[in-house]
Chains A and B, each alone.
Chain A
Amino acid sequence: MSTLLKIRDIRLEGRSDEQWNPIINGVDLTLQKGEVLGLIGESGAGKSTLGLAAMGFTRDGVRISSGSVEFDGIDLVNASAAVKRGLLGKRIAYVAQSAAASFNPAHRIIEQHYEGPTQHGVMSKADSIADGVELYGKLRLPNPDEIGFRYPHQVSGGQLQRAMTAMAMACRPDLIIFDEPTTALDVTTQIEVLASIREIVEEYDTAAIYITHDLAVVAQMADQIKVLLKGDEVETADTRTMLAAPTQEYTKSLWAVRSFERPTKPAVNTGAVPVVSVRNVDAAYGTVPVLHDVSFDIHEGRTVAVVGESGSGKSTTARCITGLLPPKAGEIAFDGNVLPADYRKRDKSQLRQAQMIYQMADTALNPRMSIGNIISRPVQFYTGLTGKALRARVDSLLDQIELEPTQYYNRLPSELSGGQKQRIGIARALAAEPKFIICDEVTSALDQLVAEGILRLLAKLQDELKLSYMFITHDLATVRAIADEVVVMKDGRVVEQGEKKAMFTPPHHAYTDLLLSSVPEMDPDWLTNLLQERGVDNIGDAAVDKM
């Protein structure tokens, strides 16, 4: 094996507030031909910046302040624009996180595919198209002969991500940088993309840097793992060594996140009136039906996890419960009393009973309001407290979510981290003193360590305040951690529901089984075994379609 990429003591700086702040503080990286390196870390650790620097490229407002990047003997830091133009796309390729945002919507997929090879003079247009079709076949895209001639919006997210991988492969590069290629995808789709990326990288002996925050994913893909924390390297090791025996505290904490699990609660008394009961709800957006006969109950002090892929109707169910989308048929009952379908017809005491915590804390908090105002408004609105009593209540809410009141009261949301913002969202929901809270993918935008903190906080609050949660998520690790009951949804129908324990032990409904088995595990052989088990043509989307 020979060394393909050698990065030595690289330092990158970003410009903000009129000064240069360090992003990467002296990281070394060596990549052999055909080797896959996993780069993991929290958001803000500098993973993407380092990945781009490996191409000799920096985003606007970022610069390489010192260090060297040597690609196959070429010094990329000092290379001229012309030399880089000759390399990028041809010998070094990049696969971005969001394929949907990275394809030009005005051109067919294949037109964007052959651009690289023809520009670099690697292949003629006709050859490149033929080669593209072959690559699509290898990446197991449906109808490889025809799919390239569609526009990006005409194919699904997972397919687009694979088309992008094919595009990166078009010139048969020596190195591909994958920047979180599966983060935006559902578990069942993710497997497909992972399997095809791994296969094609192996087949052409391409070296790759695989950037992700998901340890289980990186375990499947990488030969070597490098852990980054705030621009510093924590440790680097062979994948199996790293998984078996991480040496650094930070790495261990990353590994330990998945161990959080609440003790099982006793089963509900048969006669108890559920806090929320969804009864035979049908709903539609305009004339497009979304929900079909959805029914489930949520009892006091319990967490019901609603799982399913995107588009399965999880969030729509939440909108029906809150009254934002009045159901076409069926009803929503609260403590046994049927609520008006439209939220505008509900009175204050009905509205305050059901609160919501949103996925994106950024859009859920008004950026122009201080934290104090955001929390005190619902307190004032529902309880009528003013002056000192109001302030005391807000302070106690901030205490409950484990943020220091004097320090945070006057801050704006933009001055908080993602996890802190999510905590403010929780405090706002608590301010109404509800019995029931809908958590809509509250941890999916957060790093694992932060997400775990939020889950622990929610669990603590549930014990203290006897809250009931409806927990919408697509992440089964979260379900395992926090749920008491599970409702599995697919295409707007409830496929299966029951106690968590029963749900996680076979036999399952076929779809539940598929979901469960698609969650990546930390075992590096997991993907290989799974693919053998399922057979090549029966993974991910293909398996869903067969049901």
Chain B
Amino acid sequence: MMTILWIAGVLLAILAVAWAFRWAGQKATSNAPGFRDMPLSVAFGYVFGAALLIWAVRFYFQPTQTEQGVAVASVMFFRWAVQGLIIAMIAAFAFKQFGKYVGSAWSRKLFRSMPLTASFGILVIILYSIVAIFAGAIAPYGQAEILGAANVLPGGDPALGGNPDYPLGTDNIGRDILSRLIYGAQNTVGIAFVTTLLAFVIGVTLGFLAATLGGWLDQLLSRGVDVLMAIPSLIFALLLMTIASVWAPRLGIPLTFFMVVIIAVIDSTRVYRLARAVALNIVVMDYIEAAKLRGEGLGYLVFREILPNATAPLLAEFGLRFCFVFLTIAALSFLGVGIQPPLADWGTMVRDLAPFINFAQFAPLAAVTPLLAAGAIALLTVAVNFVVDWMLHKSSGLKE
């Protein structure tokens, strides 16, 4: 009860300040349109944002340890988050400046009109790609190499239970977490990329065919896809993976191969839907009719007339779909049927180290270990989405 009253009081106070802020603004600027036509709700938003900022700054500068020397986890994590955000912003800004002056005229123009979020996304994707491609050269240890000490905390400070040889610590059976993260990029991202590519080849081909030919082929494919989409995708994937895990050793084919095909087929249904919808809008255009009347074949219609006009939405979907596939793989690995040990994989790493999250209250450093792999997943997902948003915005031709 007290809490509700307290919240209501704060909101009312903010509202009062907002009203005063608007009034003062009107007086100070002698009724400039910005203040004159400002609704109270917008003024409320400004004041609320300012209040939040003040609170955040105060919270940031609270001590990280109590007087008894116990770490205060909330402040520590908050500080890390803020520092990470600032570093990301600086990196994105620097990368954008770099892109503005280096490269071809085309790429320079692209960077000039790019929002900061997109340049951050591109930077992260480039870094991940480098790490994934050169994993063997970058990683200090092998991904399956079991080193001496298990459960070394990250940070590399021996006084806090770390070890400078393993900057991000070791896992529960003594493998270097940094190395496994780097190899994980290769395994998880690489497999996700191949899977998404396969999903697109299947989905786009069938979707374009259905849209162009129509008739019974369209009905057959679309209803088939409806049936597949009716089954919850993760559960369906789990079911199929369980079956595949029995077959794989008998047939002598690695389980990963089955996983790629299963996820690609399930995800291609979504791609099919999009490709068909996009192509349906294109096939009614007069230039397609002109090409048909010219006597062009199906291949020309699909690849020369339809595909170039569908690339923007498909590329955007590719980015988004990549995230979903990537999360599905991580989820399957977390559940134990995805990428198999001893291969390093971020989903498996989160599962293996998950119990440490319970120590967050007392030992923030120990709790960080599962968050490292989770953070790697989150960062890539966010980065890809930033880039996709930007591409969609560009292709829609909207002006801000």
Contact = CB atoms under 8 A, between A and B. Distances in A.
Contacts of A346: 295
DSSP class of B's interface residues: helix, strand, loop or mixed?
helix
Given A366-B305, A366-B309, A368-B309, A358 B290 contact: yes
Contacts of A78: 33
Nearest to A319: B289
A360 B286 contact: yes
B286 A363 contact: yes
A378 B294 contact: yes
Contacts of B285: 363-364, 366
A61 B33 CA distance: 17
Contacts of A363: 285-287
B113 interface: yes
Interface in A57-74: 60-61
A76 to B, nearest CB: 13
Contacts of B308: 366, 368-369
A270 interface: no
Interface in A340-361: 343, 346-348, 351-352, 355-356, 358, 360
Interface residues of A, number: 35
Contact of B293 (A80, A351, A367, A382): A351
B114 to A, nearest CB: 12
B394 interface: no
Given A366-B309, A367-B309, A368-B308, A356 B290 contact: yes
Interface in B285-343: 285-287, 289-290, 292-296, 304-305, 308-309
A324 B292 CA distance: 9
A99 B113 CA distance: 37
Contacts of A348: 295
Interface in A365-411: 365-369, 377-378, 381-382
B67 interface: no
Nearest to A82: B37
Interface in A141-160: none
B223 interface: no
Nearest to A60: B399
A437 to B, nearest CB: 12
B37, B289, B293 interface centre (most CB from chain A within 10 Å): B293
Nearest to B309: A368
Contacts of A533: none
A143 B286 CA distance: 39
A365 B293 contact: no
Contacts of B289: 324, 356
Contacts of A432: 294
A259 to B, nearest CB: 31
A82 B40 CA distance: 14
Interface in A298-328: 322-324
A322 B286 CA distance: 13
Contact of A61 (B292, B293, B399): B399
Interface residues of B, number: 19
B36 interface: yes
B37 A80 contact: yes
A343 B305 CA distance: 19
A81 interface: yes
A329 to B, nearest CB: 22
A520 B386 CA distance: 55
Contacts of A378: 294
Contacts of B36: 80-81
Given A80-B36, A369-B308, A364 B399 contact: no
Contacts of A352: 294
Contacts of A364: 285-287, 290
B215 to A, nearest CB: 13
A203 interface: no
A80 B290 contact: no
B286 A381 contact: no
A368 B307 CA distance: 10
B295 A381 contact: yes
Interface string B249-289: 00000000000000000000000000000000000011101
A394 to B, nearest CB: 16
Nearest to A358: B286
A77 to B, nearest CB: 10
Given A365-B287, A366-B287, A369-B308, A381 B296 contact: yes
Contacts of A324: 289, 292-293
A464 interface: no
B286 A343 contact: no
Contact of B33 (A15, A80, A356, A428): A80
Nearest to B399: A61
Nearest to A429: B290
B293 A18 contact: no
Interface string B362-400: 000000000000000000000000000000000000010
A88 to B, nearest CB: 14
Contact of A351 (B37, B286, B287, B295): B295
A364 B285 CA distance: 7
Contacts of A351: 293-295
A61 B285 CA distance: 29
A347 B294 CA distance: 10
A80 B295 CA distance: 61
Contacts of A381: 294-296
A368 B310 CA distance: 10
B198 to A, nearest CB: 25
B63 to A, nearest CB: 47
Nearest to A80: B36
Contacts of B294: 351-352, 377-378, 381-382, 432
A347, A348, A364 interface centre (most CB from chain B within 10 Å): A364
Give 3 closest A-B pairs by Cβ, nearest first: A368-B308, A364-B286, A81-B37
29 contacts: A16-B399, A60-B399, A80-B37, A82-B37, A324-B289, A324-B293, A343-B292, A343-B293, A346-B295, A351-B293, A351-B294, A351-B295, A356-B289, A356-B293, A358-B286, A358-B290, A360-B286, A363-B285, A364-B285, A364-B286, A365-B287, A366-B285, A366-B287, A366-B308, A366-B309, A369-B304, A377-B294, A381-B296, A428-B290
